[in-house]
């Protein structure tokens, strides 16, 4: 199992392919070098012999046989133990000079075997290479050179080439295998984590070990992604349970009402009232769904395609006017300070809803007799939209959380409102590339949204 996996591993396969091909290329290269060196050595040897023959032939022509024989004898005497050997013999086969036994005279390049030299033990292996020729009618001259050196050199070259080839192959294959095993082990760690996560343990992380290389970076990147996913899953779980809670309450209430009605009611008016109340409950639930879907749609961002210049001043006036009357009736005051002609690029409908939500939110959390301020102004090329109240405010540590879906400060969820208002505000702000800032109004809450004042007049 482990073996087949190793063979299937990419680095191992690369190593095998590279090892094989580099060995092949190197082998070819070494063969060429070998051939070239061999011929170089042979040529060198032959040139030496050729030179000697020329010298001897010149001597014979100029100074006669005796002088040449003297030269040969001198050479033999002086170079005892040298690889160069001479033979001068007459037609009868008598050796006139030289250090070789008489042989059957042959003209031209030749290899002389050990047996020819009377060394039967080494048989037909060539011992000498030389060139022979008749200098005159009765004088056969053979100059040879020992080829043992040549053979030795050849063997040496071949052996060293073989060793380096084998080493290359071993290194390539072994290195590939080691890299493969190491990589496989690290990838396995990632895989194990992935499997554990798929099995449901989202808290698993890929162990970041070894050098800080690409794989380490990958592991860190994946870990960050996993952390984000875990966070999202956590909030999803939260939202799901909150949805369930928020929907179970009205559904339960509706069920109770209908059941009470079935048990007790005899009169049509009461039935009607019960149906009326049930419809109201269902409408409430539908409203929650509508809000959730709306937020999801806003977050999907498709509406950005419909962005156009929006007169934010007009939107603010409209909202302030609509809710001003409501505030009055509740004994509160909504004070609007709106700079005219503030234009931003955006979605009018959503900006209206955002501001309406913020205003409603402020009014809802403000006791009677206080005021809520709605302010739109241009500061340093930015457009600032602010809704501030003097109510209870939001503790700093809760401020991040209020944008979560279904999050309500009051844990008992007894106050009206779906807990989606601020989520929608945040989604709209994000769609407009901005964010909602919650600050202390001392006392109360100050909510502001800043827009890049693009087309400000």
Rounded CA-CA distance 344/451 in Å is 7
**How far is the first Cα of the chain from the last one, in angstroms, to the nearest whole number?**
73
Q: How many CA atoms lie within 13 A of 452 on its CB side?
A: 6
Query: Contacting another protein (CB under 8 A), which of 32, 302, 335, 379?
Result: 302
- Give the range of 47-55, 56-64, 255-263, 356-364 binding another protein by CB under 8 A: 356-364
Q: Does 335 bind another protein (CB under 8 A)?
A: no
Q: Does 451 bind another protein (CB under 8 A)?
A: no
User: In the bound complex, what is the minimum distance in angstroms from residue 424's beta carbon to another protein?
Assistant: 9
Burial code (b: 16+ CB inside 10 Å, e: under 16) for 15-38 equals bbeebeeebeeeeeebeeeeeeee
Q: Are 170 and 178 in contact (CB under 8 A)?
A: no
Q: Which residues lie closer than 8 Å to 189 by C-beta, 6 or more apart?
A: 206, 207, 209
User: In the bound complex, what is the minimum distance in angstroms from residue 359's beta carbon to another protein?
Assistant: 9
Query: Contacting another protein (CB under 8 A), which of 326, 335, 379, 435?
Result: 326
Q: Does 293 bind another protein (CB under 8 A)?
A: yes
Q: Does 257 bind another protein (CB under 8 A)?
A: no
Q: Does 340 bind another protein (CB under 8 A)?
A: no
The length of the chain, given as a count of residues = 457
Q: Does 353 bind another protein (CB under 8 A)?
A: yes
Torsion, Cα 16 21 22 23, to 10 degrees, reads 90
- Give the range of 142-150, 204-212, 283-291, 376-384 binding another protein by CB under 8 A: 283-291
Sign of CA dihedral 44, 45, 50, 53: positive
User: In the bound complex, what is the minimum distance in angstroms from residue 431's beta carbon to another protein?
Assistant: 11
- If the CB atoms of residues 319 and 375 are measured against another protein, the closer one turns out to be 319
Q: Does 288 bind another protein (CB under 8 A)?
A: no
- Give the range of 132-140, 292-300, 375-383, 430-438 binding another protein by CB under 8 A: 292-300
* Residues in region 394-423 near another protein by CB under 8 A: 416-417, 421
Site string for another protein, 189-228 (x = CB under 8 A): ----------------------------------------
User: CB neighbours (10 Å) of residue 280?
Assistant: 12
Site string for another protein, 420-449 (x = CB under 8 A): -x----------------------------
* Beta strands 382-389; 371-379: pairing state: antiparallel
Rounded CA-CA distance 363/283 in Å is 23
- Give the range of 74-82, 133-141, 249-257, 295-303 binding another protein by CB under 8 A: 295-303
Query: Contacting another protein (CB under 8 A), which of 276, 382, 398, 433?
Result: 276
Rounded CA-CA distance 88/77 in Å is 15
Write the CA distances from 78 to 71, 88, 257, 309, 392, integer angstroms: 10, 17, 134, 112, 121
User: In the bound complex, what is the minimum distance in angstroms from residue 249's beta carbon to another protein?
Assistant: 17
Alpha helices in 79-206 (DSSP H): 148-198
Site residues (vs another protein, CB under 8 A): 276, 279, 283, 286-287, 289-290, 292-294, 296-298, 302-303, 306, 318, 321-323, 325-326, 329, 348-349, 352-353, 356, 360, 363-364, 416-417, 421
């Amino acid at each position: 199992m482990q073996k087949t996996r190793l063979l299937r591993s990419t680095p191992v396969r690369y190593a095998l392919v590279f090892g094989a091909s580099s060995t092949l290329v190197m082998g070819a290269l070494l063969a060429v070098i070998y051939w070239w060196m061999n011929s170089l050595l042979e040529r060198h040897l032959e040139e030496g012999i050729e030179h000697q023959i020329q010298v001897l032939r010149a001597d014979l022509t100029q100074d006669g046989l005796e002088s040449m024989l003297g030269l040969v004898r001198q050479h033999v005497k002086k170079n005892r133990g040298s690889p160069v050997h001479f033979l001068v013999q007459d037609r009868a086969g008598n050796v006139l000079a030289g250090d070789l036994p008489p042989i059957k005279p042959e003209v031209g390049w030749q290899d002389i075997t050990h047996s020819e030299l009377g060394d039967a033990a080494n048989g037909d292996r060539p011992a000498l290479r030389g060139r022979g020729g008749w200098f005159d009618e009765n004088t056969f001259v053979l100059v040879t050179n020992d080829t043992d050196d040549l053979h030795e050199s050849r063997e040496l070259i071949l052996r060293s080439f073989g060793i380096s080839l084998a080493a290359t192959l071993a290194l390539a294959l072994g290195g590939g295998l080691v890299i493969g095993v190491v990589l496989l082990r690290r990838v396995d760690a990632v895989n194990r984590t992935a499997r554990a996560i798929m099995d449901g343990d989202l808290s698993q992380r890929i162990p970041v070990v070894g050098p800080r290389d690409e794989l380490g970076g990958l592991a860190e990147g994946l870990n960050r992604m996993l952390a984000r996913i875990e966070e999202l899953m956590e909030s999803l779980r939260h939202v799901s349970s909150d949805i369930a809670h928020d929907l179970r309450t009205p559904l339960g209430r509706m069920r109770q009402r209908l059941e009470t009605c079935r048990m007790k009611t005899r009169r049509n008016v009461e039935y009607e009232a019960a149906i009326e109340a049930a419809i109201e409950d269902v409408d409430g639930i539908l409203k929650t769904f509508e809000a959730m879907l709306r937020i999801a749609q806003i977050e999907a961002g498709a509406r950005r395609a419909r962005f156009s210049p929006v007169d934010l001043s007009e939107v603010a006036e409209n909202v302030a006017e609509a809710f001003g009357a409501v505030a009055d009736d509740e004994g509160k005051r909504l004070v609007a300070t709106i700079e005219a002609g503030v234009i931003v690029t955006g979605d009018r409908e959503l900006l209206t809803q955002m501001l309406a939500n913020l205003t409603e939110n402020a009014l809802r959390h403000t006791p009677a007799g206080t005021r809520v301020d709605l302010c739109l102004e241009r500061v340093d090329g930015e457009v600032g939209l602010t809704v501030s109240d003097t109510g209870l405010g939001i503790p700093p540590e809760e401020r991040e959380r209020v944008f979560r879906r279904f999050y309500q400060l009051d844990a008992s969820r007894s106050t009206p409102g779906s807990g989606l208002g601020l989520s929608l505000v945040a989604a709209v702000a994000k769609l407009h590339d901005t964010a909602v800032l919650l600050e202390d109004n001392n006392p109360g809450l100050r909510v502001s949204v800043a827009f890049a004042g693009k087309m400000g007049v």
